[in-house]
Chain A
Amino acid sequence: MKIKRDNPDDEIPTSSMADIAFLLIIYFMVTTTFTATRGLDFALPEDDDNPPVVEKEESVLIEIMPDGSLVVDQQSMLLPNVIDYLKPKLDVNPKKPVIIRPDPASPYKHMVAVLDELRQATDKGIKEEIRISIPTQREIESFWY
């Protein structure tokens, strides 16, 4: 008796490969979280036991109160007005240091807002970058007078 031999074409089924690939893409897209990779740069001065003494009158002191309000050289001030206040002083002495002193009880965001505003000074009519200093509590206790 002659047996009829079935002779199918040998091939790997690839029809579902696209489905698998798209499933993987969807998985990557759903699980990807976009992360912040930018921020405000801030150069730290070298920790020196004998820092240069800056006369109080030579610098501008910006104090940040616990509620976020600002006191600049003993005057209450709104953040958008700070640059206008600094401009004439910095025109006379561009190297005048500006000291930011946040209250320990104030939220961090207020310090960042002030620092961000001062860093934009050159876009707002001030010729040179402002020399900003943010002394830490330890430095204030050690060197403040």
Chain B
Amino acid sequence: MKLKAEKQHEGSIPTASMADIAFLLIIFFMLTITFEVDKTQVILPKTTIRVEIPKKAAYVSLTEGGQIKVSNGEELSASVPGPEDVFSFAAGVVGSNPGKEFVLKADSNSSYRDVDAIIDALKRAKVRIIYLLSNQQTVDDVG
């Protein structure tokens, strides 16, 4: 009996849904992205205890050289000349939202004198809670 030769099928990978998957990934990235209000480059201190900082918290950043920037958590941070300006900024923020949390993003090598002046300004402005921004301490860091 003569067998009919099987028809040769061309092999191909179905790629029609690839664009859908890629766009789903893009939508995921776009929804989960959080915009940084403060882009100051600092080396953060390392701590073992790290609690989640509330979103929209106000930021005060301090570089090793003593440069201070502030942000109310919604707008990009702006430079201020000194701690007295931090006080007037914080007083304004607390005036409109008494429970507002503040984040202190200070360089680990910045002088405590500068940090002290900022904490004092925040205390005088009646800020209730501050978060000292930090990186995770690992076993290697402890040595």
Contacts and interface: CB of A to CB of B under 8 A. Distances in A.
A18 B45 CA distance: 43
B25 A134 contact: no
Given A42-B130, A104-B116, A105-B111, A18 B18 contact: yes
A120 interface: yes
Given A32-B33, A120-B48, A106 B19 contact: no
Q: Which secondary structure characterizes the binding site on chain A?
A: mixed
Contacts of B29: 25, 28, 32
Contact of A113 (B45, B50, B111): B45
A42 B129 contact: yes
Interface stretch (A5-13, A33-41, A90-98): A33-41
A36 B133 contact: yes
Interface of A: 14, 17-18, 21-22, 24-25, 28, 32-33, 35-47, 64, 102-113, 115-116, 119-120, 134, 136-139
Nearest to A64: B112
A41 B15 CA distance: 50
B124 A40 contact: no
Contacts of A113: 45, 47
Interface stretch (B1-9, B71-79, B101-109): B101-109
Contacts of A115: 132
A138 B134 CA distance: 26
Contacts of A33: 36
B116 A44 contact: no
Contact of A109 (B25, B33, B108, B122): B108
Contacts of A119: 49
Contacts of B117: 136-137
